[in-house]
A = this chain, B = another copy of it.
Amino acid sequence: MTLAARPDAASTAARDDGRVPTPDSAALRAHTAIRAAILDGSHRPGEMLSENELAQRLGMSRTPVRSALTRLQDEGWITIYPKRGALVRRLSDREIAELADARLILEAMGVQRASTEVRRALADRLEPQLNAQREALLARDLDGFVTLTIAFHRSFVEAAGNAVLAEIADRLTDRQRLLLSAHRETLFERVEETIAEHRALVERLRADDPAGFAEALRGHLMDTHGPELGPV
């Protein structure tokens, strides 16, 4: 399958054939807006979301809001209690650890499945990105770093050439975003350690050492950031 475009990725822009696509539906706008509000802390875990309130604030009716909420539930952001409301989920320590562990598995397996050539090529491609990562961290540009590190880690999964896996990993990463924002200070305090760990991962790629890569990745997760954050 071709990697399904994330629904929110759709945006209103002229296509190459000149035709203007259908504008983003209100349901999509609601989805992105609510998700963003959860991510930036406007809606905190434990908070109850009201369809009416959201609809009013977003300038639309309850219908698209409802649609967005059910999707957010499927994606693990909220829990809908019938006839009572939607609760912003709080990730338990266990779930946080499991999310990180699951992504670890997918990334390690992606590298293991790749061929030697792919691993080498990946190392060549990723190595120059390390500096940009450091710059972003030093500039305390959280969004910039998050974008970079997500792409960095995604490369490992992609190496397996399995789009289904890649999409699963994307969803996991998406849910972990919340944690990155929450631990921004920790992140900015460990710039060199983080970059060094990333560099070690690239080195294991270049050395064509998948087992060592998996080990380094586990260390990147467990030793440095603790189970409450996961690999960045």
B70 touching A162 by the CB < 8 A rule? no
| A63, A95, A98, A163 interface centre (most CB from chain B within 10 Å) | A98
Chain B residue with the shortest CB-CB distance to A25: B82
Q: Which of A38-46, A141-149, A164-172, A197-205 contacts B (4 or more CB under 8 A)?
A: A164-172
The answer for the CA separation of A71 and B70 in the assembled complex, in Å, is: 8
Q: Which of A53-61, A99-107, A120-128, A186-194 contacts B (4 or more CB under 8 A)?
A: A99-107
Interface SS, A side: helix
Chain B residue with the shortest CB-CB distance to A24: B82
Chain B residue with the shortest CB-CB distance to A79: B4
Chain B residue with the shortest CB-CB distance to A94: B1
Assess A1 versus B92: contact at CB under 8 Å? Given A101-B162, A162-B101.
yes
Using Cβ atoms and an 8 Å threshold, which residues of chain B touch A168? Answer: 102, 168
Question: Interface residue count for A (Cβ, 8 Å)?
Answer: 32
Asked if A66 CB lies within 8 Å of chain B CBs, one says yes
- Residue from B94, B98, B165, B172 within 8 A of A105 (CB atoms): B165
Shortest beta-carbon distance from A119 to chain B in Å:
17
B95 touching A164 by the CB < 8 A rule? yes
5 closest Cβ pairs, A-B complex: A1-B95, A98-B164, A98-B162, A22-B82, A102-B164
Using Cβ atoms and an 8 Å threshold, which residues of chain B touch A106? Answer: 105
Shortest beta-carbon distance from A55 to chain B in Å:
15
Asked if A67 CB lies within 8 Å of chain B CBs, one says yes
Asked if A109 CB lies within 8 Å of chain B CBs, one says yes
The answer for the CA separation of A76 and B3 in the assembled complex, in Å, is: 11
Asked if A74 CB lies within 8 Å of chain B CBs, one says yes
Asked if A83 CB lies within 8 Å of chain B CBs, one says yes
